A = this chain, B = another copy of it.
Amino acid sequence: MIIVMKPGAAEQNIRSVVDYIEKHGLFAHLSRGEEVTIIGIVGDKTKLSTENLSIYKDVDRIMPVTESYKLANKKFHPEATVVKVGSTSIGTDNLTIMAGPCAVETEEQLMTIARAVKKSGATILRGGAYKPRTSPYSFQGLEEEGLRYMQTASRETGLATICEVVSLDAIEAAVKYVDMIQIGARNMQNFILLKEAGRSGLPVLLKRGLSATIEEWLNAAEYIMSEGNENVVLCERGIRTFETATRNTLDLSAVPVMKEKTHLPIIVDPSHSTGASRYVSSMAKAAVACGADGLMIEVHNDPAHALSDGPQSLTFEQFDGLTKELRPFCNVVGRTF
């Protein structure tokens, strides 16, 4: 932590800052430059609320020199993390493809979709049993019954499974039935849920919040990891901007940025970000090209009658076409699926 004083800061104001630091059992290292005086803080910074120093007179700014996240930080954990999920792993040379319906509707529907996506190359079945919907009057999911169907589908097809959780009750239920849990964009800073996800023992897919910075996203991962659970996978799913031609703006630059900052795997969801099935294929290819470890894609047996997110869901045929198109890109980047 570095405190930069304003040009021409009064000596007594510099002294006040130093006193504040020392009163908290830390050491202040002064450096008097030509233009400004800089104060480095040495010691355990968790002992003081450094942001308050901005109130002190003549303080210009406070600059952290280390990131606030530790466990997710590549600096302290240089080798890439591989997350095991049921019968498969994320973060290897495989391209992980998670596919399935936005919402689990019936057992038959889910089984049909599970078989189709497996055939085309998916290794993880996605399916929503608890749906966080903008309006309270929209379909909210089958809840535990939906999770049971996921388990059945997994047993029959061998696919690993992932479900979004929205509450502690949902986590408790998910532990019994599925291989991985997902924290959705709207809950990325639901810190209670993050901690509980950390304690669940299950690997966690953490979607980026709609207006979350990359640093906040990594701090959300830190919440999960600080409970002893290092099996976290990040998922870029679009951020909110002024553009309305797509539902959100897919921030693919987050892929190389994350590869630099963290050892956690990162996957991309081209379905939710674009909100339109006709753009999914292009963005899926771009994601693979820029280094994503996997994809999450919505697939439905009958998009026109889907209970949720039909417009962005691929049909079986479209999904199969997409996976065929992805293979040569995988060859180029050295991945298989």
A interface with B by C-beta (< 8 Å): 2, 4, 7, 20, 27, 29, 31, 33-36, 38, 40, 42, 46, 49, 51-56, 60-61, 63, 65-66, 68-69, 132-137, 139, 166-168, 186-187, 189-193, 195, 210-211, 213-216, 219, 222-223, 226, 239-246, 249-257, 260, 273-274, 277-279, 282-283, 285-291, 303-311, 328-329, 332
Residues on the B chain within 8 Å of A190, using CB: 166, 186-187, 190, 193
A53 to B66, CA, bound (A): 20
Does B242 contact A49, Cβ atoms closer than 8 Å? no
Known contacts A245-B257, A253-B274: does B29 contact A40 (CB below 8 Å)? no
Does B49 contact A7, Cβ atoms closer than 8 Å? no
| Nearest chain B residue, comparing its CB with the CB of A244 | B213
Number of copies of this kind of chain in the complex: 4
Does B36 contact A304, Cβ atoms closer than 8 Å? no
Could you show 7 A-B contacts with beta carbons less than 8 Å apart? A7-B65, A52-B305, A167-B168, A214-B243, A239-B243, A253-B273, A256-B278
A268 to B56, CA, bound (A): 27
Does B290 contact A286, Cβ atoms closer than 8 Å? yes
Known contacts A7-B65, A38-B2, A46-B137: does B311 contact A52 (CB below 8 Å)? yes
| Nearest chain B residue, comparing its CB with the CB of A67 | B135
Further pairs besides A34-B42, A46-B137, A68-B135: 10, Cβ < 8 Å? A2-B38, A29-B33, A55-B277, A61-B63, A134-B189, A241-B251, A245-B257, A246-B257, A255-B282, A260-B278
